[in-house]
């Protein structure tokens, strides 16, 4: 009897394991079955932002649309709290995180990630009149930094031992600096180049020095087969010029990772 019970328990565990494995390996089937991929984003120019018609555009938005077409599904953009991105993903409120996401060790441990497709960095943004005063790590010690909660920028600031004022988005971090609520911000270089300086909405702000280099990738649920599917698509999009065409639309051609 004990052997029979043990055998039954093994069969149950095998069935549960097989089901979990099937679920992890069939994310593509799940997305194609419902006919839609839900993309988790934040307002982050030039990667994901709205045009005058309220439509999401940007390098990542355009590339995600091309990937959805490749899969043969519709696309839905879902604005999320960046700090909750893993919960949103594993809870199936979204199907991927595609928003200029730095491939940190923490991200790679929590998600199945695509290969890196774009170079980035974490940079200081400060008022034009002050940015020249911040040229070394030591000169930052007394500053209050606005950072996006859960972002690479927040991790960098906390690793420096500086005070972090965590806000909902990188766009909100810039507003904090512009209003004087925070002394400076640490945000993505690609966003800083698009959002601050002459001819932008933040002409009174400027980029400072780089604190950390990193790279962007897309995150899917743990074990998802969509990560490798995206890698295949990215290789094809690079070969036929689609990737460069989208990048050039937003002035990001030089940041692309060519492989």
pLDDT tens, residue by residue, 212-226: 999 999 999 999 999
pLDDT tens track for 38-49: 999 999 999 999
Identical fold for domains 2-115+215-255 and 120-214, yes or no, is yes
CATH class of 120-214: alpha beta
Band of residue 11 on the pLDDT scale cut at 50, 70, 90: very low
Half-sphere exposure of 5 (CA within 13 A, CB side): 2
Q: Is the pLDDT of residue 208 over 80?
A: yes
d(CA 236, CA 251): 21
Helix axes 226-239, 27-34, angle to 10 degrees: 80
- Provide the token pair at 89: 């993903």
Q: Using the 8-state DSSP alphabet, how is residue 93 labeled?
A: S
Q: What pLDDT score does 10 carry? A: 36
Band of residue 26 on the pLDDT scale cut at 50, 70, 90: confident
The whole-model pTM stands at 0.82
Q: What pLDDT score does 235 carry? A: 96
Q: Using the 8-state DSSP alphabet, how is residue 253 labeled?
A: G
Q: What pLDDT score does 92 carry? A: 97
Q: What is the residue extent of each domain of the chain? A: 2-115+215-255, 120-214
Q: What is the DSSP string of 171-216?
A: HHHHHHHHHTSSSEEEEEHHHHHHHBSTTSSBTTEEEEEEEEEEEE
Q: Is the pLDDT of residue 25 over 80?
A: no
CATH class of 2-115+215-255: alpha beta
């Amino acid at each position: 009897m004990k052997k029979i019970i043990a055998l039954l328990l093994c069969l149950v565990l095998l069935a549960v394991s097989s089901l979990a494995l099937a679920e992890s390996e069939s994310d593509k089937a799940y997305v194609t079955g419902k006919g839609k991929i839900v993309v988790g984003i934040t307002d982050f120019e030039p990667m994901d932002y709205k045009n005058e018609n309220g439509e999401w555009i940007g390098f990542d938005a355009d590339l995600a649309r091309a990937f959805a077409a490749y899969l043969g599904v519709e696309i839905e953009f879902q604005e999320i709290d960046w700090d909750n991105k893993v919960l949103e993903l594993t809870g199936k409120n979204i199907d991927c995180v595609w928003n200029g996401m730095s491939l940190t060790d923490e991200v790679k441990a929590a998600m199945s990630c695509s290969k890196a497709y774009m170079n980035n960095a974490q940079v200081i943004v400060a008022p034009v009149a002050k940015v020249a005063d911040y040229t070394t790590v030591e000169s930052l010690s007394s500053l209050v930094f606005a950072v996006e909660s859960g972002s690479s920028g927040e991790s960098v600031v906390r690793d420096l031992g500086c005070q972090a004022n965590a806000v909902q988005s990188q766009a909100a971090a810039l507003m904090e600096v512009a209003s004087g609520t925070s002394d400076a911000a640490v945000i993505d270089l690609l966003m800083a180049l698009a959002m601050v300086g002459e001819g932008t909405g933040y002409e009174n702000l400027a980029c400072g020095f780089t604190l950390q280099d990193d790279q962007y990738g897309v995150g899917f649920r743990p074990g998802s087969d969509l990560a490798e599917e995206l890698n295949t698509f990215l290789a094809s999009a690079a070969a036929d010029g689609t990737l460069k065409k989208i990048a050039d639309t937003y002035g990001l051609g030089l940041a692309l990772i060519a492989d």
